[in-house]
Structure 1
Amino acid sequence: MIQSKVEIVPFEPSLREHFYTLNAAWLKKHFVIEPIDEQVLRDPERSVLEPGGAIFFAKLGDAVIGTCALLREVPGVYELSKMGVDETFRGLGAGRQLLDAAIAEFHRRGGHTLFLESNSSLKPALRMYEQAGFVLQPTIRAGSHYARADVYMIYAPASGRAAR
């Protein structure tokens, strides 16, 4: 049997429901769906794409197994957000491929600041972010939209490698 490879594809309307269901699954498992999550997940075109962001999906054959978003906050400043991979497909590298696609898009758009907010209980995700060049900040992000956020990281690949 031939093993399918994970493929990263951009948002298209036919994939909208997967943006919600993949994120809702991990949010409900570990936290709750907050009002800001509901807004972004229910209307990704208005919340992510229209302001200048991007959404990516990981597919394995016909199955949509993961997603992540690059939210444009202001010109040049982006947030890596809404990353989730279906539990049954973890370990295939989909999360890292989604992360790499978002970072590549950040660079393609000429961004100067890329950040993320997370939670300290999500250890595998935090390790992946650190390996990709995100650096843990000493405090949470001022004005955070998320009650669950107790981790704030900024993409600084040169700093991340120097610190190892």
Structure 2
Amino acid sequence: MPPNKIQIAPFEMKYASDFKELNEAWISQYFKMERMDYQALDHPKEYILDNGGYIAVALKGETVVGVCALIKMKDSQYDFELAKMGVSPLEQGQGIGFLLGTHIIKKAEQLGASTVYLESNTKLVPALKLYRKLGFVEMEGFTSPYERCDIQMVYTIE
């Protein structure tokens, strides 16, 4: 694989520290880590994978440059949540988030989903631009466990 080519791969436990570090970096930069963050980031296998979810890893060579999770929703009108998307600050602006988002939506479709939900904050302008580019639309009425959440979006798989 050429050194600058990005490959999207399924999560393996060897990527657990990268998954946590990439997410902890952006969350701590703009907000504060919350209980739900620690659950997902400290226990990705138990919290995400063992519950029917999925985590994608963006690799540049052997280096993890991005991550994104698909969390199976329980007791919800939505099938999955797109969550814990983080891209290395050194690699931002190169389309890695779009590759991860597209991959995650395709994976949700393969898993039989009709909707993918996400929570964010209006401070994160580049992220919101990315979500809209992927086809997410703003929605209301869902209670968030995150203090930082002030916008919710949904993607409908047709």
Q: Tell me the TM-score normalized by structure 1.
A: 0.89
Alignment of 1:26-65 (within 5 A): 26-65=26-65
> Do the aligned partners of 1:134 and 1:154 also contact (CA within 8 Å) in 2?
yes
- The aligned residue for residue 99 of structure 2 is 97
Counting matched residue pairs gives 155
Match of 1:11 in 2: 11
Q: Look up the match of 2:82.
A: 80
Does 2:154 align with 1:154?
A: yes
Match of 1:21 in 2: 21
1:3 CA displacement: 5.1
User: Hey, what does 2:143 align to over in structure 1?
Assistant: 143
Per-residue CA shift, 1:113-140, capped at 9, x if unaligned?
2110000011111011111110011x3x
Q: Percent identity among equivalent residues?
A: 37
Give me the whole-angstrom Cα distance separating, in 2, the residues matched to 1:134 and 1:51: 24
Partner of 1:108: 110
Conservation of the 8 A alpha-carbon contact between 1:53 and 1:72:
yes
The 10-residue stretch of structure 1 (37-46 or 76-85) with the greater mean CA deviation from structure 2: 76-85
SS at match of 1:154: strand
> 1:156 Cα shift?
3.2
Shift of 1:38: 0.6
Q: Which ranges of structure 1 fall in alignment gaps of 5 or more residues?
A: 159-164
Report how far residue 142 of structure 1 moved: 2.6
CA distance in 2, matches of 1:110, 1:7: 24
1:123 to 122, 125, 132: 125
Post-superposition shift, 1:157? 6.7
Question: What is the distance in 1 between the residues matched to 2:142 and 2:5?
Answer: 39
Please give the secondary structure, in 1, of the residue aligned with 2:52: coil
**Offset of 1:61 from its aligned partner?**
1.2
- Distance in 1, Cα, partners of 2:45 & 2:100: 19
Structure 2 unaligned blocks of 5 or more: none
Relative to 1, partners in 2 of residues 1:50 and 1:157: Cα closer, same or farther, differing over 3 Å?
A: closer
